[in-house]
């Protein structure tokens, strides 16, 4: 999901609560705070020697130990995103969420659905990949030795 789509979901239901839902159906606790909005730029060289740049709009989500009644409305998050306009250069950037469960992890926001009075944002895991499969002699290979069964 790109930032313009994320903002559109927020503006369609500004008084609604927000829910971030993982692939397995678990959710980030409802009393989360969005503590940062950032423009993340990763400049790197892949294993085939090609220079690449990846950009995203990253929301850092944090749950306080002593604020169980806190709820962030869609309108409030929209206003936080508005404050970040000067550092986030484009609404075409993909949106990612950084959250600390057992470890700090980053998730791609894959979609939004309005249900039961809340905007439910779907989070999907990010995965590593070889970006230079041809240069590495791995054309058509999947993880787990090319079995095609998905990742181990």
Structural domain containing residue 117: 3-130
In a domain, 144, yes or no: no
- Report the pLDDT value the prediction gives residue 140, as an integer from 0 to 100: 66
Q: Which of 10-24, 84-98, 130-144 shows the lowest mean pLDDT across its residues?
A: 130-144
In a domain, 137, yes or no: no
Tell me which of 82 and 137 has the higher pLDDT.
82
In a domain, 138, yes or no: no
In a domain, 55, yes or no: yes
In a domain, 140, yes or no: no
DSSP state of 16: S
**Cβ atoms of residues 99 and 107 within 8 Å:** yes
In a domain, 135, yes or no: no
In a domain, 65, yes or no: yes
HEC profile of 72-134? CEHHHHHHHHHHHHHCCCCCCCEEEEEEECCCEEEEEEEEEEEECCEEEEEEEECCCCCCCHH
Average model confidence (pLDDT) across the chain: 92
pLDDT (tens digit per residue) in 108-121:
999 999 999 999 99
Count of structural domains, the chain: 1
In a domain, 148, yes or no: no
- Report the pLDDT value the prediction gives residue 151, as an integer from 0 to 100: 44
pLDDT (tens digit per residue) in 47-105:
999 999 999 999 999 999 999 999 999 999 999 999 999 999 999 999 999 999 989 99
């Amino acid at each position: 999901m790109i930032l313009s789509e994320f903002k559109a979901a927020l503006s369609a239901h500004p008084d609604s609560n927000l829910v971030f839902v993982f692939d397995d159906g678990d959710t980030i606790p409802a009393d989360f705070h969005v503590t940062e909005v950032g423009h993340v730029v990763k400049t790197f060289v892949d294993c085939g020697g090609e220079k690449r740049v990846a950009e995203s709009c990253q929301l850092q989500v944090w749950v306080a130990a002593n604020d169980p009644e806190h709820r962030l409305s869609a309108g409030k998050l929209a206003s936080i995103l508005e404050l970040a306009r000067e550092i986030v250069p484009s609404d075409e950037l993909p949106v990612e969420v950084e959250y600390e469960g057992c470890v700090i992890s980053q998730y791609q926001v894959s979609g939004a659905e309005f249900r039961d009075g809340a905007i439910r944002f779907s989070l999907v895991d990010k995965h590593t990949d070889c970006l230079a499969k041809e240069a590495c002699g791995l054309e058509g290979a999947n993880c787990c030795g090319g079995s095609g069964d998905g990742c181990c």
